[in-house]
C-alpha cells in the first residue's frame, strides 16, 4: 500500500464477481468511496467457467448444428470443428470480457483514485466495520468501512465419496479445459445446466452423451410441453437419457469413468465413458470470511445469508448474488447488488421483488421464461386463460426455417386479463419475452401489446397474435388451426376452449 492510500471507506465489497462489481460501481454513482476485494479473478463465474464460457460454447455448437442441417440434407459431408478451435473461441470471448474489466479498473483507479480502490486478496470480517485482506504473499492489511457488502459467489457442488479430479470427473470449472472432444460423456444432473451441456456436446456431434435424470422427465419444474420438446430433441441428437435413475457408483478405472445406475424396478446397469460431468448445483462461498465470529446468521440449511431484503442481521452488512441464496443468476446478482447500495446510500424503501424474473435456458430450442408457468397455476388452483401459438405460423420463423417452438401466455381468468407469465420456446425466444416481462412488472393487461405496431417480419409478432387471440380478434383462428393454436380457460382442472366459429 502506498503511504497515503486510503484505509477508511464508505463501502467495502468482498467479492468481485458480477454482483460485487455492480455494488462497487453503484456506490461510485453516489460519490461514495469504495474498496473492492477479489481473491482470484474479477468477473467471477460470470466470466470464467460459467455463464460466458458455456454460452459461447452453446452459440458455436448451434452454428455447427445449423450448418450441418443444411449441408447434410444437400448430400454434402458434415462440417466439423476441432476442440482447439472451440477452445480458441472460448479464450477469445473470455479475454475480451476480462480485458474490459481490467481496463475499466485501471482507468477508475487513475481517474477516481479518491473514490475507488481495488485489492487482490481474501477478505475476512473482523468486526462489523473492519475487514482484513490477506494477499497472495500472505501479507495482511486491515481496512475500515461504514458498510460492507458480501458478494463471495459460489463454486460447483460435488458429491460425497467422489474424486473430482477435473480430468476424468469434471465440474463446470474443468469442462472447458479438456484436451479434446471426449468420445463419450455422462452428465449427472438433468437440470438446466446439465441439459445445456448435453445440448452443446450433442450439437457438435462428436460425443456420445448420457444424461442421468432422477425424475420421470428432464426440467421437471417446467411445463410438460417444454420438457418433452427439449427431451425429444436431445434424443434425436443421440443423447441417451436415463429417466427415473439413481446414480449408485461413479469411479475412474484404467483412465475411463465407470458408472452404475439403478432403475425403479430394481435393475442395474454399468456403463463406461471417457468423461463425467457433475451438474448438481453450486455451493455458496461462505467459509473463512468471519461470519461465525461476527454472529451473522445463515438462512435455511445454512447455505446463505442476507434474508432481510439483501440485509443481514447486522444492520450495516449486506449479502448479494449467490451469498443471498435467492436466485443464482448473473442478472439477479447485479440487481440485488444495486438494490443493496441504493438502500444504503439512496434511501430505497421498496423491497426487491423476485416474482417475475426473466430467465433463459440455452437448450434445443432456446427457452425463455418470465412469471408463472401453467404447472404452478394448476398446483395453486389459480383460474387462468391460456393462449399458445406455434412458431410455424410466424412469418419470421418460416423465413429463418426455424419453425420449431411456441409462445405460451397465461393471464387471469377475468376481463382484465392481467398477465401472470409467459414461456417462449424457439429461435429468438429470449428477445421475445421482454415486453411481457414489463407488463407483468407493471401489473397490466394485454391491450397495449395487442395494438402496438410490431416490426415485420419478426418473432415478436407471434406475441401480438397470442394476445389478439385472447381478445378474440386474431388473424388466424384457434378453432381452425387446432394443431397450431390454442386458446382456452382452465378453472378447477376443467379446460374450456375460448374460440369457436
Give, in order, the Cα–Cα distances in Å from 435 to each of 223, 373, 445: 21, 17, 12
Give, in order, the Cα–Cα distances in Å from 456 to each of 226, 397, 428, 460: 27, 11, 14, 9
d(CA 378, CA 8): 54
**The pLDDT of residue 302:** 65
d(CA 106, CA 84): 32
For residues 210 and 233, the answer to whether their CB atoms sit within 8 Å is: no
Tell me, letter by letter, the H, E, C secondary structure of 25-83: HHHHHCCCCEEEEECCCCCHHHCCCCHHHHHHHHHHHHHHHHHHHHHHHCCCCCCCCCH
d(CA 402, CA 429): 12
For residues 219 and 227, the answer to whether their CB atoms sit within 8 Å is: yes
d(CA 368, CA 361): 6
- Where do the domains of the chain lie, and which CATH numbers do they carry? 8-47+90-156+283-346 (3.50.50.60), 169-280 (3.50.50.60), 365-497 (3.30.390.30)
Residue 422 Cα to chain centre, angstroms: 17
pLDDT, tens digit only, all 501 positions of the chain: 444 466 899 999 999 999 999 999 999 999 999 999 999 999 998 899 888 999 999 999 999 999 998 887 777 888 899 999 999 999 999 999 999 999 999 999 899 989 999 999 999 999 999 999 999 888 999 999 999 999 999 999 999 888 999 999 999 999 989 999 999 999 999 999 999 999 999 999 999 999 999 999 999 999 999 999 999 999 999 999 999 999 999 999 999 999 999 998 889 999 999 999 999 999 999 999 999 999 999 887 667 887 789 999 999 999 999 999 888 889 999 999 999 999 999 988 899 988 788 999 999 999 999 999 999 999 999 999 999 999 999 999 999 999 999 999 999 999 999 999 999 999 999 889 988 888 888 888 788 788 888 889 999 999 999 999 999 998 888 888 888 999 999 999 899 998 765
Q: Which residues sit opposite 144 in a β-bridge?
A: 8, 130
Q: Which residues sit opposite 130 in a β-bridge?
A: 144
C-alpha cell at 242: 436415463
d(CA 195, CA 365): 11
**CA-CA-CA-CA torsion sign (465, 470, 475, 478):** positive
Q: What is the DSSP letter of 308?
A: B
Amino acid at each position: 500500500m502506498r503511504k497515503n492510500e486510503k484505509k477508511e471507506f464508505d463501502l467495502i465489497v468482498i467479492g468481485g464477481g458480477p454482483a460485487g462489481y455492480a455494488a462497487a460501481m453503484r456506490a461510485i454513482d453516489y460519490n461514495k468511496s469504495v474498496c473492492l476485494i477479489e481473491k482470484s479473478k474479477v468477473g467471477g463465474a460470470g466470466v470464467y467457467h460459467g455463464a460466458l464460457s458455456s454460452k459461447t460454447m452453446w452459440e458455436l455448437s448451434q452454428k455447427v448444428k445449423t450448418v450441418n442441417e443444411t449441408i447434410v440434407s444437400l448430400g454434402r459431408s458434415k462440417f466439423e470443428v476441432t476442440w482447439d478451435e472451440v477452445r480458441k473461441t472460448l479464450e477469445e470471448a473470455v479475454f475480451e470480457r476480462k480485458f474490459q474489466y481490467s481496463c475499466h479498473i485501471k482507468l477508475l483507479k487513475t481517474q477516481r483514485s479518491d473514490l475507488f480502490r481495488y485489492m487482490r486478496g481474501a477478505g475476512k470480517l473482523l468486526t462489523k466495520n473492519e475487514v482484513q485482506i490477506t494477499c497472495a504473499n500472505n501479507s495482511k492489511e486491515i481496512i475500515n468501512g461504514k458498510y460492507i457488502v458480501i458478494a463471495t459467489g459460489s463454486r460447483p457442488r460435488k458429491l460425497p465419496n467422489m474424486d473430482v479430479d477435473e480430468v476424468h470427473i469434471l465440474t463446470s470449472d474443468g469442462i472447458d479445459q479438456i484436451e479434446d472432444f471426449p468420445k463419450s460423456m455422462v452428465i449427472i444432473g438433468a437440470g438446466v445446466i446439465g441439459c445445456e451441456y448435453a445440448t452443446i456436446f450433442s450439437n457438435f456431434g462428436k460425443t456420445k452423451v448420457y444424461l442421468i435424470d432422477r425424475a420421470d422427465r428432464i426440467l421437471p419444474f417446467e411445463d410438460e410441453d417444454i420438457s418433452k420438446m427439449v427431451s425429444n430433441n436431445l434424443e434425436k441428437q443421440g443423447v441417451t437419457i436415463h429417466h427415473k435413475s439413481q446414480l449408485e457408483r461413479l469411479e475412474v478405472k484404467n483412465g475411463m469413468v465407470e458408472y452404475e445406475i439403478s432403475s425403479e424396478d430394481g435393475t442395474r446397469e454399468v456403463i463406461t465413458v471417457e468423461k463425467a460431468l457433475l451438474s448438481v448445483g453450486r455451493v455458496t462461498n461462505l467459509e473463512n470470511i468471519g461470519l461465525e465470529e461476527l454472529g451473522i446468521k445463515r438462512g435455511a440449511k445454512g447455505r446463505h445469508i442476507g434474508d432481510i431484503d439483501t440485509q443481514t442481521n447486522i444492520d450495516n452488512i449486506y449479502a448479494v448474488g449467490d451469498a443471498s441464496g435467492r436466485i443464482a443468476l448473473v442478472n439477479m446478482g447485479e440487481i440485488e447488488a444495486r438494490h443493496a447500495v441504493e438502500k444504503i446510500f439512496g434511501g430505497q424503501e421498496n423491497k426487491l421483488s423476485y416474482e417475475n424474473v426473466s430467465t433463459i435456458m440455452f437448450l434445443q430450442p432456446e427457452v425463455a421464461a418470465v412469471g408463472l408457468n401453467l404447472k404452478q397455476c394448476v398446483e395453486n388452483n389459480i383460474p387462468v386463460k391460456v393462449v399458445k401459438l406455434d412458431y410455424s405460423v410466424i412469418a419470421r420463423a418460416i423465413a429463418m426455417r426455424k419453425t420449431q417452438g411456441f409462445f405460451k401466455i397465461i393471464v387471469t381468468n377475468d376481463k382484465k386479463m392481467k398477465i401472470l407469465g409467459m414461456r417462449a420456446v424457439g429461435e429468438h425466444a429470449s428477445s421475445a419475452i421482454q415486453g411481457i416481462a414489463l407488463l407483468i412488472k407493471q401489473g397490466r393487461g394485454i391491450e397495449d401489446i395487442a395494438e402496438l405496431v410490431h416490426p415485420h417480419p419478426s418473432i415478436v409478432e407471434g406475441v401480438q397474435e397470442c394476445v389478439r387471440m385472447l381478445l378474440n380478434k386474431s388473424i388466424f383462428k384457434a378453432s381452425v388451426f387446432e394443431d397450431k393454436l390454442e386458446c382456452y380457460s382452465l378453472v378447477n382442472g376443467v379446460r374450456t376452449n375460448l374460440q369457436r366459429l
